[in-house]
Amino acid sequence: MMFEMNSCFAQVVGVMCIVLLLGSVAECREVDGTLENLEYPAISCRKHSASLTDFGGVGDGKTSNTKAFQYAIGNLSNYGSDGGSLLVVPPGKWLTGSFNLTSHFTLFLHRDAIILASQDESEWPELDVLPSYGRGRDAPDGRFSSLIFGTNLTDVVVTGYNGTIDGQGSYCDIIIQGLTIVAPIDSPNTDGIDPDSCTNTRIEDCSIVTGDDCIAVKSGWDEYGIKFGMPSQHIVINRLTCSSPDSAMIALGSEMSGGIQDVRAENLTAIDTESAVRIKTAVGRGGYVKDIFVKGMNLINMKYVFWITGSYGSHPDNDFDPKALPDISGINYKDVTADYCNYTAKLEGIPNDPFKGICISNVSIASSDKKKLQWNCTDVEGVTSHVSPVPCELLPQKEEKKFDCPFPDEKLPIESVMLKTCSLTSA
C-alpha cells in the first residue's frame, strides 16, 4: 500500500495500521451498505458521495473490483474542487488489484467491508522508480504498485467502521484493518506508515503486527537520496503498538540519505519485537538523523532494547560515495521499562564518524533469563541517567538526580489538526 503526496512518499509496505478514530465517530444506524445516516471523521466534510456498487462493484470475494474502484474514483475525482467526495465500500468481500486515490477524497469501509488484495500479478502494475531511490527495491527498473496508491494527493482519508484491508498474504503477509490516513489540507504531506521524505506527519493509535518494521521513516537511498535532498521531518508517532519479531518497532532508515530530523515518538508498546526505535545507516548513505525524541516505551520480549547500526550495507549500486558519512546526533530516549530482553543495547557508530548526543534516561531493563544484560557500544558519544543495568563507558551516567533527557514541550502544527464528524443522509 502506498500513498504519495507531492514529494512525500508515505508508504505502507506489507504493513497494516489501525488508526482508531472510531472513538470520535458517532455510532451510525445499522445500514446495509447504503449511505443513510452515515457519520465519519474528516478534515473537511464531503459534498458528493457514492457507493462502489454504483460503479459495478460486486462484493462476492471472487469478482475483480479493480475496474469498479478505478471508475468510481475516476468519476469522483471530478469533485475535488467542488466539495470533495466519499466512496463507500459496503459490507462484502471486495477483491481488487491496485487502484489510485484522488484528492479531497474519503474512502469509507463499512462495517464488515473487506477489501481483498488480488493475487493476480497483472492487477499490480509496475511503476517508475522513485527519483530519490534511483532504482526499485523489488525490481531494478521499477517498483510494484501498492494496493491503495496515489500520487500528489491532498486531503485524503481512509476510514470506516472496523473494515478490513486484507493483503492476502503473498503481497504483504498481513491483514490491514480500518486503516486511516489523514492528509491535512494545510500541508502537502500526510500520515503514513513508511513516511518517506515527509514533513508534518502524525501517526497515532496504530496497532501493527508485521514481519518488517512497524514504521520506517525514510528519505531516499544513497547518492539518489542525497541528490534529491528531501528529508523526513516533524514526524509525530503516538500510542503505537507493535509486534515484529524480526524487525524494529520504528526504524529510522536505512534509506535516510535525504535526512531525518525531529521525530517525536511517545507511548510506544512493543511485544515480541527485535528492537524498539532503531537507526539504520552506513558509510555511503550521507544525510543525517538528528533530533529524535522517544518518551515512554513499554517493551516485552525484545532482542535489543536499544539498537543503532552504522554498518547497514545494502546500496542501490556501486556509485555510492564512500566519503558520504551520515551525521547522527541528538538521539534521546527516556522513560522505558523493558522485560524479557536478550540484550540491553547494541550501539554501533561509524569509526571516525561517531554518533553524538545520545541521551538515555529513566530506563529499567530486565533480562529474559538470569543472564547479565550486555551493553555493546562502539563509536558513540552521549550520556545516561537512572539507567539499569549500568550502561557502557561511552555513555557515562550523569550524577545529577534530576537529569532527564529532552523531549520538546512545544507542539508541532500537525498535532493540533482536528478531525470533525460529517454526516451524509441517504444517497
The binding site for ligand NAG (CB under 6 A) comprises 22, 50, 54-55, 70, 75, 78, 100, 111, 125, 127, 149, 151-152, 161-162, 238-239, 266-267, 296, 301-303, 335-337, 342-343, 346, 362, 368, 374, 376
Of 22 and 45, CB closest to ligand NAG: 22
What minimum distance in Å lies between the beta carbon of 288 and ligand NAG? 25
Of 119 and 321, CB closest to ligand NAG: 119
Of 168 and 247, CB closest to ligand NAG: 247
Cα(349)–Cα(341) distance, integer angstroms: 22
Cα(272)–Cα(211) distance, integer angstroms: 11
What minimum distance in Å lies between the beta carbon of 425 and ligand NAG? 19
Tell me whether residue 212 is one of the annotated catalytic residues. Answer: yes
Of 315 and 337, CB closest to ligand NAG: 337
The answer to whether 385 touches 404, Cβ cutoff 8 Å, is yes
What minimum distance in Å lies between the beta carbon of 261 and ligand NAG? 20
What minimum distance in Å lies between the beta carbon of 175 and ligand NAG? 13
What minimum distance in Å lies between the beta carbon of 181 and ligand NAG? 16
Of 162 and 397, CB closest to ligand NAG: 162
User: Pick the catalytic residue: 155, 194, 196, 212?
Assistant: 212
What minimum distance in Å lies between the beta carbon of 362 and ligand NAG? 4
Three state DSSP letters for the chain? CEEEECCEEEECCCCCCCCCHHHHCCCCCCCCCCCCCEEEEECCCCCEEEEHHHHCCCCEEEEECHHHHHHHHHHHHHHCCCCCEEEEECCEEEEECCEECCCCEEEEECCCEEEEECCCHHHCCEECCCCCCCCCCCECCEEECCCEECCCCCCEEEEECCCEEECCCCCCCCEEECCCCCCCCCCCCCCCCEEECCEEEEEECCEEECCCCCEEEECCCHHHHHHHCCCEEEEEEEEEEEECCCCEEEEECCCCCCCEEEEEEEEEEEEEECEEEEEECCCCCCCEEEEEEEEEEEEEEEEEEEEEECCCCCCCCCCCCCCCCCEEEEEEEEEEEEEEEEEEEEEECECCECEEEEEEEEEEEEECCCCCCCEEEECEEEEEEEEECCCCCCCCECCCCCCCCCCCCCCCHHHHCCCEEEEECCC
Where do we find the cell 500500500?
1
Of 327 and 404, CB closest to ligand NAG: 404
- Of the candidates 64, 120, 74, 119, the one whose C-alpha atom is nearest the C-alpha of residue 94 is 64
Of 66 and 219, CB closest to ligand NAG: 66
What minimum distance in Å lies between the beta carbon of 199 and ligand NAG? 15
Of 63 and 162, CB closest to ligand NAG: 162
The answer to whether 194 touches 237, Cβ cutoff 8 Å, is no
Cα(208)–Cα(337) distance, integer angstroms: 20
What minimum distance in Å lies between the beta carbon of 276 and ligand NAG? 12
The answer to whether 116 touches 93, Cβ cutoff 8 Å, is yes
- Of the candidates 207, 194, 222, the one whose C-alpha atom is nearest the C-alpha of residue 283 is 222
Residues catalogued as catalytic:
212
